[in-house]
Homo-oligomer: A and B are copies of this chain.
């Protein structure tokens, strides 16, 4: 599968959150966060279709779009390649960086502890 650009990802994120959605719904949602023109959003939907990242069902004159790729898989792949590029493949320095700069909340810590407990249990 082709690379998904940042702008395209914003659209895809919406569809992962709720789908199917018509282009006008996507436009309406995105208009809250980004200031994208309707034409821009349509271009992004089109490119995502070409990349086979999303598909659609015809609904009269308009389409209802839905994701074709799995969010979890996408996130894992992206995370791995990001960590490879930026942290030479090591995950903990990323987390350490957040900790150092106080970007971690107590909730984050609690969740991390939980993760570790689960991991150890399964082992």
Contacts and interface: CB of A to CB of B under 8 A. Distances in A.
Taken together, the copies of this chain in the complex come to: 2
Interface residues of A, number: 40
A82 to B, nearest CB: 5
B97 A115 contact: no
A92 B79 contact: no
A97 B112 contact: no
Interface of A: 6, 9-10, 13, 72, 74-76, 78-80, 82, 85-88, 91-99, 101, 103-104, 106, 108-109, 111-113, 115-116, 118-120, 123
Most buried by B among A72, A93, A95, A103: A95
Contacts of A119: 99, 104, 109
